[in-house]
């Protein structure tokens, strides 16, 4: 669910998890994901997921997530993704977030209340 919420958030910012620039492909592999459950959800429950930027480094973004059902906090999560140059024939490697991407990403904030 956090990955789907991340994708929707990036689309909202007119970005994506797969981008291209003059040097080639850029993507955002996940390097960490955690979720702490506060209350039980049942199969097919409809929830709202709030997404926010918790931390932004030179080459990484940590998203915060709040899972809500009828405004009740059900879970909180965090996921860190690293900006990587994707190699055609070799391994990917972390890169500094390009300015044209960084300019669209909001400053970190605390979890919404």
Whether 45 maps to a domain, the answer reads yes
In a domain, 107, yes or no: no
What's the whole-number average pLDDT of the chain?
A: 92
Element containing residue 3 per DSSP (H, E): helix 2-12
Helices and strands (DSSP H and E) totals, the chain: 2, 8
The pTM for the full model equals 0.88
pLDDT greater than 80 at residue 113: no
Distance between CA atoms of 8 and 96, rounded to whole angstroms? Answer: 23
Number of domain units in the chain: 1
- Any alpha helices (H) in 25-111, and if so which ranges? 99-102
Enclosing domain of residue 74: 2-102
The arithmetic mean of pLDDT across residues 63-67, rounded, is 97
Within-domain flag for 7: yes
Q: Per the domain annotation, does 47 fall within a domain?
A: yes
Is position 113 within any domain? no
Within-domain flag for 109: no
């Amino acid at each position: 669910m956090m990955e789907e919420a991340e994708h929707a958030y990036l689309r909202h910012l007119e970005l994506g998890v797969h981008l291209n620039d003059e040097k080639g492909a850029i993507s955002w592999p996940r390097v960490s994901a955690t979720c702490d459950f506060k209350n039980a959800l049942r199969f097919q429950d409809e929830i709202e997921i709030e997404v926010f930027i918790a931390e932004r480094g030179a080459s990484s973004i940590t998203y915060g997530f709040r899972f809500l059902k009828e405004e009740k906090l059900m879970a909180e999560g965090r996921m860190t993704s690293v900006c990587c140059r994707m190699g055609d024939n070799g391994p990917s490697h972390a890169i500094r977030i390009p300015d044209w991407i960084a300019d669209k990403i909001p400053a970190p904030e605390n979890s919404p209340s």
